[in-house]
């Protein structure tokens, strides 16, 4: 049992050490990863949303570009057909030829201006794209600075937590030296424990000798004949034996005192050594954590170098963008008025095209159609160029965002891999801790089994001692006699009879007691496990009962508060009565449902199925707003909730929405003037050439 207890103490100590290591690892993981993970997750979420938005915009411009190209091809085909018809119809009229020559001159100049105009919009798009890239680079530089500050704070925090050497090499050397000191100290402790064990053995010999001499002193008085010399015991004989025994006892007592003094000194030294050993082990664990922190700090420094390189590359790219922007802006300024010149030429062409010429009305109509188609084609060309430019811009933005997203995902993966070893080490330590705790429970069961066995042996010992004393008392009167219970012949006969009976009985299982002890030990172990499981079951049932009570209490409190707000909201929307929530089973609310009851002025009660569509809408909205007021959400979307309401009820609903707009965000799809009048921002959606157009208006 002492060995088991000593082993339990060692295992518990080891479990405690593992628990400390696990806490240290959790602290390292928490201090090193939480802030980085939080920042990364936020950046990844923002980039994912940005990518989705850019993809939608890019696809919109792609569709717009495709439709414009198809429309342009269709218009060009119509222009060819009209020109062919006009050529056949006009003939050789000199006035028409003169107007056509002037028109060609204006058209040539207009085409030159159109090229400049295209360049103008191209430059505008490039400048816009470069400005976006410039903004992205500037944002990246700011992010790099923030990241550097965060890593520097983490490094400073790590160095503040380091207890010993701040250098990895010095920390490793100190760790090796501490290991050597622990090994030497462990050897010294083992030697001291061996000495104490030898003292314990000597003490056991002393106690045995002391017990023997004391027993001899007691027994010599009771004996008449000496068991050694077979002579009559006299008073001198007794005194001599007692004196000799006392002499031996005194000698052993003196010797035992010397042993105890030595043992006490060695025990004190051993305790000091063990205390120092424990301190050295604690120091070794702290040095291990220091090393882990130093390795982490070195990795952080490498991250700083990498970030500085990326920042330098970003600054170089930013300088190139600024230089290019400067050149493009100069060119942009030189053709800034091209739009005005283009419009002037366009007006001249229109004046000639729509001049009142003395030609056939049909030619005039066709000419106007031709001019209109040419104008539409130019507008489509401009629209195509703008769409291509916008598509290019959003495509570039999308590529930049996707690269940034892939980079952040890679950083997140690297961060996970970087600290995966800590998670693995933590899992290994926790598994080891569970194994050790299981061993402790096993040793405790064995101690209980041994204790029960000791109790049984003590009871048996007491019973046997009592029987021995009883027999000694019975045989006192026969001490001087040689006892024979029967004659030899009778004894032989009885022996033969006993042998015959033994043969009839058969062989005796000599291991029956041993098997019984093993089975009993298993029974005791199982009973202990059953008792533990029953106790744990009772604890769990108590916890479940407590949780159910708290859950019920929390539910009732929430229901009462929501019910109060529900009734109040409905009274603001309707004057026909009151509404409230009622439990189907008030004793056990979780086994039944929840009803909505309506109480009218005459004291009658109805369920919600008896109401009209508009009244049901008012009840539902009252409940939604009651829940919102009790525990608000971020925003709400309502789709034509006023469809079943008349004008009066719509106005009441608008007033209720206006009240709750102060504490929440509401997106409402409606055509109702009463609700629209309470909005802060209006959005309208219309279709133009199969493309949705969104208009907004702040009220």
- Residue 67's CB is within 10 A of a number of other CB atoms, namely 17
**DSSP calls for 462-524:** HHHHHHHHHHHHHTGGGTTS---SS-HHHHHHHHHHHHHHHHHH----TTHHHHHHHHHHHHH
Residue that has been written with the tokens 């000694």 in this structure: 472
Residue 637 bridge partners (DSSP)? 667
The pLDDT value recorded for residue 358 is: 42
Mean per-residue pLDDT, 426-439: 80
Question: What stretches of 291-433 adopt beta strand conformation (E)?
Answer: none
pLDDT above 70 coverage of the chain, percent: 79
User: What backbone torsions phi and psi does residue 587 show, to the nearest 5 degrees?
Assistant: -70, -45
Report angle CA 336, 338, 342 to the nearest 5 degrees: 160
Check pLDDT > 50 for residue 645.
yes
Q: Is residue 357 very low, low, confident or very high in pLDDT (cuts 50, 70, 90)?
A: very low
Comparing 395 with 480, which gets the higher pLDDT? Answer: 395
pLDDT above 90 coverage of the chain, percent: 2
Q: What is the largest CA-CA distance in the chain?
A: 178
Among 13, 75, 61, smallest CA distance to 369 is for 75
Distance CA 423, CA 407 (A): 24
The pLDDT value recorded for residue 526 is: 92
Does the domain formed by 632-699 have CATH 3.40.50.300? yes
Mean per-residue pLDDT, 420-437: 77
Mean per-residue pLDDT, 167-175: 82
User: What backbone torsions phi and psi does residue 574 show, to the nearest 5 degrees?
Assistant: -145, 145
Distance CA 358, CA 351 (A): 15
DSSP 699: -
Compute the residue count for the chain. 699
What are 185's two structure tokens?
Answer: 């100290």
Classify residue 168 as exposed, middle or buried by CB count within 10 Å of its CB (0-12, 13-18, 19+): middle
The pLDDT value recorded for residue 510 is: 67
Report angle CA 10, 428, 447 to the nearest 5 degrees: 30
Q: Where are the domains of the chain?
A: 13-166+308-429, 187-294, 431-525, 632-699
Distance CA 78, CA 85 (A): 11
Distance CA 125, CA 119 (A): 10
Contact 72, 381 (CB under 8 A): yes
Distance CA 17, CA 348 (A): 94
Give CB contacts under 8 A, 24+ apart, made by 373-382.
373/75, 373/78, 373/79, 373/82, 374/79, 375/346, 376/75, 377/72, 377/75, 377/76, 377/79, 378/114, 380/68, 380/71, 380/72, 380/75, 381/72, 382/117, 382/118, 382/121
Residues 48-67: tens digit of each pLDDT: 777 877 777 777 778 777 88
Residues 513-534: tens digit of each pLDDT: 777 888 888 898 899 889 999 9
Residues 474-497: tens digit of each pLDDT: 666 666 665 556 777 887 887 788
Question: The dihedral of CA 129, 134, 135, 141: what is its sign?
Answer: positive
Check pLDDT > 70 for residue 102.
no
DSSP 582: E
Check pLDDT > 60 for residue 43.
yes
Hey, which CATH number is domain 187-294, 3.65.10.10, 2.160.20.10, 1.10.287.510, 1.10.3720.10?
Answer: 1.10.287.510
Residues 233-251: tens digit of each pLDDT: 667 766 777 777 777 778 7
């Amino acid at each position: 049992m002492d060995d088991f207890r000593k082993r339990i103490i060692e295992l518990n100590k080891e479990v405690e050490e593992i628990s400390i290591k696990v806490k240290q690892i959790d602290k390292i993981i928490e201090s090193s990863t939480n802030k980085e993970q939080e920042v990364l997750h936020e950046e990844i979420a923002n980039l994912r949303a940005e990518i989705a938005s850019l993809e939608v915009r890019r696809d919109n411009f792609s569709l717009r570009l495709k439709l414009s190209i198809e429309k342009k091809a269709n218009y060009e085909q119509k222009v060819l057909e009209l020109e062919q018809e006009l050529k056949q119809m006009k003939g050789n009229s000199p006035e028409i030829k003169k107007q056509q020559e002037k028109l060609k001159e204006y058209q040539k100049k207009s085409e030159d201006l159109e090229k400049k105009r295209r360049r103008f919009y191209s430059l505008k798009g490039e400048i816009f794209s470069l400005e976006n890239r410039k903004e992205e680079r500037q944002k990246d530089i700011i992010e790099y600075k923030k990241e550097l500050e965060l890593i520097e704070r983490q490094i400073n925090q790590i160095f503040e937590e380091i207890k010993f050497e701040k250098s990895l090499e010095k920390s490793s050397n100190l760790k090796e030296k501490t290991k050597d000191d622990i090994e030497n100290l462990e050897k010294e402790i083992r030697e001291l424990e061996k000495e104490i064990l030898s003292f314990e053995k000597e003490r056991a010999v002393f106690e045995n000798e002391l017990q023997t001499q004391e027993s001899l002193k007691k027994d010599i008085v009771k004996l008449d004949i000496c068991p050694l010399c077979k002579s009559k015991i006299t008073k001198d004989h007794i005194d001599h034996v007692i004196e000799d025994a006392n002499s031996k006892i005194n000698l052993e007592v003196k010797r035992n005192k010397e042993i105890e003094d030595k043992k006490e000194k060695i025990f004190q030294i051993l305790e000091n050594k063990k205390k120092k050993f424990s301190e050295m082990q604690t120091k070794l664990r702290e040095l291990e954590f220091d090393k882990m922190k130093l390795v982490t700090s070195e990795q952080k420094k490498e991250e700083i170098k990498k970030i500085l390189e990326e920042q330098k590359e970003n600054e170089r790219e930013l300088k190139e963008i600024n230089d290019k922007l400067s050149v493009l802006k100069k060119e942009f300024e030189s053709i800034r008025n091209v739009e005005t010149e283009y419009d002037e030429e366009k007006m001249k062409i229109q004046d000639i095209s729509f001049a009142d010429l003395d030609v056939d009305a049909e030619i005039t109509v066709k000419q106007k159609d031709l001019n209109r188609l040419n104008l539409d084609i130019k507008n489509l060309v401009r629209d195509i160029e703008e769409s291509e430019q916008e598509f290019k811009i959003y495509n570039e933005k999308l590529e930049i965002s996707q690269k940034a997203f892939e980079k952040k995902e890679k950083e997140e993966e690297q961060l996970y891999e970087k600290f995966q070893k800590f998670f693995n080490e933590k899992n290994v330590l926790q598994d080891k801790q569970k194994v050790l705790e299981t061993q402790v429970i096993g040793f405790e069961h064995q101690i209980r089994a041994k204790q029960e066995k000791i109790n049984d042996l003590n009871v048996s010992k007491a019973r046997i001692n009592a029987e021995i004393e009883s027999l000694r008392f019975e045989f006192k009167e026969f001490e001087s006699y040689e006892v024979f219970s029967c004659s030899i012949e009778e004894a032989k006969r009885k022996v033969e009879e006993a042998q015959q009976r033994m043969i009839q009985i058969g062989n005796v299982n000599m291991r029956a007691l041993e098997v019984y002890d093993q089975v009993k030990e298993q029974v005791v172990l199982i009973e202990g496990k059953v008792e533990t499981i029953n106790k744990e079951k009772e604890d769990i049932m108590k916890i479940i009962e407590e949780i159910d009570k708290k859950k019920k209490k929390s539910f009732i409190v929430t229901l009462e508060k929501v019910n109060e707000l529900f009734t109040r909201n409905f009274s603001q929307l309707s004057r026909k009565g009151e509404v409230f929530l009622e439990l189907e089973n008030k004793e056990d609310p979780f086994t039944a449902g929840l009803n909505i009851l309506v109480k009218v002025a005459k004291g009658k009660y109805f369920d919600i199925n008896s109401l009209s569509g508009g009244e049901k809408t008012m009840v539902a909205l009252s409940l939604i707003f009651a829940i919102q007021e009790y525990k608000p959400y971020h925003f709400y979307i309502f789709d034509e909730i006023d469809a079943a309401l008349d004008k009066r009820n719509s106005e009441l609903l608008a007033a209720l929405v206006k009240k709750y707009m102060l504490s929440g965000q509401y997106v409402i799809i409606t055509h109702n003037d009463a609700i629209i009048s309470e909005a802060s921002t209006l959005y309208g959606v219309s279709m133009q050439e199969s493309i949705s157009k969104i208009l907004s208006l702040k009220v």
